[in-house]
Structure 1
Amino acid sequence: MIEQGQTLPAATLSELTSEGMQTLSTEALFADKKVVLFAVPGAFTPTCSNAHLPEFITLADKITAKGVDAIYCVSVNDAFVMKAWGEAHNAEHIRMLADGDASFTTALGLDKDTAGFGGVRSKRYAMIVENQTVTGLFVEQDKEFVVSRAEAVLEKL
């Protein structure tokens, strides 16, 4: 599992924008920026939709006021699902990034097998990334939702 002080692995994520499908490298997404990244096991799932994403939406202004350049949400879903999920929650201040094949999640060592639920998914976590280096990492234990909450991350900025 990636640790605080380590550089993010080279990988690509997808984003569906008004210009169409974009394939983005982690270098392009994280170089020369301070980013809060949070990951969820699945778009449109209960805790993710009812608490995790909405809290980051609500606190986006306070997070960016702490010198954060961008907030990214990533899930092992496709870019079409991530775009629809973001639109359903009015997440205009959060980039909704897809890790459709779980390659980024697996490279981080933050993958989990949910078997009948959906196969390989991401653990629930949040991280602070400065110029591609992880400066804060907050990984939830299974079935918990404490350390990756927007409020908890805001306290660490």
Structure 2
Amino acid sequence: MLGLIKPEGHEPVRAAQLFAHLKSFVIGIPGAHTPICSDKHVPELVRDAGQLKAAGFDMIGCIASNDPFVLQQWSKEIDPENKVTFISDGNLEFAAALGLLQTEQSLFLGTRSERYSLSIENNLIKRLKVETSIFDVSCTSPGRIISDAREPSSAEVELI
């Protein structure tokens, strides 16, 4: 179960409901207010949201390993124009289902999701990219995804 962030709060939603009938680009981040997420990865996503829409994505999303209350406040700060859909994976169910859990002891974050990106069409994961470290933003950057979107994908995994 995920928490879809809305202006008036959050709504519990299953991934299969959220991504049904859409072409979506989503990044997964270790957490709101963390330096790389706040200073680089998510600002790039907000900045490039228009280009991603022009590349054919219906929804541009950010899944964070935070509770919905923290994520709602952070989303207002980092994306005041609501270009991105913010999604809480506070229980880490989604990241765990994808095998994308990690622990970075030196940062005292506890267990979080890895830094990843997904291209999803009608509940089928077409592309999954995972950074080698949560400190990197290269293969999951929006610019990289825009260029990758032009190439066909050979793998599919269904969200249920």
Which residue is equivalent to 2:114? 123
Q: Determine if contact 2:66/2:90 at 8 Å carries over to the other structure.
A: yes
How many residues are paired up?
146
Q: Which residue of 2 aligns with 1:60?
A: 49
Which residue of the partner structure matches residue 83 of structure 2?
93
User: Per-residue deviation at 1:21?
Assistant: 2.6
The gaps in structure 1 that reach 5 residues or longer are: 1-11
- Residue in structure 1 matching 2:66, options 47, 54, 77: 77
What letter corresponds to residue 97 of structure 2 in structure 1?
A
Distance in 2 separating the partners of 1:135 and 1:15: 22
C-alpha separation in 2, matches of 1:140 and 1:37: 14
**Structure 2: gaps spanning 5 or more residues:** 150-160
Shift of 1:39: 0.7
Match of 1:135 in 2: 126
Greater RCO, 1 or 2 (C-alpha within 8 Å, sep 6+): 1
Q: Aligned equivalents of 2:139 and 2:60: distance in 1?
A: 17
* 1:22-61 pair list within 5 angstroms: 22-61=11-50
Moved more, 114-123 or 129-138: 114-123
After TM superposition, where is structure 1 displaced by more than 4 Å over at least 4 residues in a row? Answer: none
Q: Which amino acid aligns with 2:50?
A: D
For the 8 Å contact 1:15–1:83, the answer to whether it is kept is no
Change (3 A) 1:85 1:20: closer
Instruction: Give the RMSD, CA atoms, in angstroms.
Output: 1.3
* 8 Å contact kept, 1:41–1:76: yes
| Whole-angstrom distance in 2 between the partners of 1:139 and 1:74 | 14
